[in-house]
Amino acid sequence: MSATTNILVCGIGGQGVMTATEILSEAAIAEGHDVKKTEVAGMSQRGGVVTSHLRFGARVLSPQIAPGAADLLLGCEAAEALRWAHYLKPGGLALVNDARLVPPVVELGLFQYPDDPIGEMRERGVRAVSFDAASLAEELGDLRLGNTVMLGAIADQLPFSADVLLDCVVKRFARKGEAMVEANRLAFAAGRAAAQAATPATA
C-alpha cells in the first residue's frame, strides 16, 4: 500500500454505506492519520446508488479517488461493486457482499442486473473476495448488521490493527445498549472470519 490509503465504499441506500465510511474514518483518525472523505455520490435514499471515497495518510489534500487508484473496494452490493471496479488499482482488492440486492433502477427497466457480477469482475482481472454478508447479518437477527459484517471483512486489510476498527464500531453503537454492542461485535467477527476463509481470486 502507498503512503496514502484509498478506499472506495459502494452499495445501495439502506445498507449503511455512509455509516461504514464514517467508522473507517474514525479509526484512521484514532491512529493519527489525516483523513478526507466524500459525502454521498449518487442518491442516498433507500434503494438508490451510494458511493463514498475515503483517503487517509500523513497528509491528504483531496478526498477524491481517481479511477485506477483505489487500494480497496468495499462492495456492499455485488452489481455496484462491478460498476465501480475500474477504480481499483492493479493489484487492489475488492471485498464484496455477493447477496443479490436488486435496486429500483432494475425493477423499472432502466438497468439490467448482471448475471454474475463477481464473475465479471474476476474476468477483468480483479482480485475479489466474496461472501454473503446479508445472510451472516440475518443469522445474527438483523439485516442492518450487514455494514458491520463488511467492516469486519475489511479489518485485516487496513494499515492498522483490526482492534482499532472494532473499538470504533463499539463506540458508535454504545449508546444503543449492550445488546446492540454485542450484536455488532458478533457481526464484525463474522465478517472478518468470512473474508479470511475466502481466497482472493481472479479468472
Residue 33's pLDDT is 96
Say if residue 40's pLDDT is above 70: no
- Output the nine-digit C-alpha cell for 9: 465504499
Indicate whether 18 pLDDT > 50.
yes
For the stretch 5-15, pLDDT in tens is: 999 999 887 78
Provide the residue ranges of all domains of the chain, joining segments of one domain with +: 5-197
Name the percent of the chain in helix, strand, coil, to the closest 5: 45, 20, 35
Put simply, whether the predicted model's pTM sits higher than 0.85 gets the answer yes
pLDDT digits (tens, 9 = 90+) for 117-161: 999 999 999 999 999 999 999 999 999 999 999 999 999 999 999
Instruction: Among 1.20.1440.130, 3.40.920.10, 3.30.300.90, 1.10.10.10, name the CATH number for the domain at 5-197.
Output: 3.40.920.10
Quick one: pLDDT at residue 200? 66
Residue 203 has pLDDT above 50, yes or no: no
Among left, alpha and beta (phi > 0; psi -120 to 50; other), residue 191 is alpha
Distance CA 17, CA 8 (A): 10
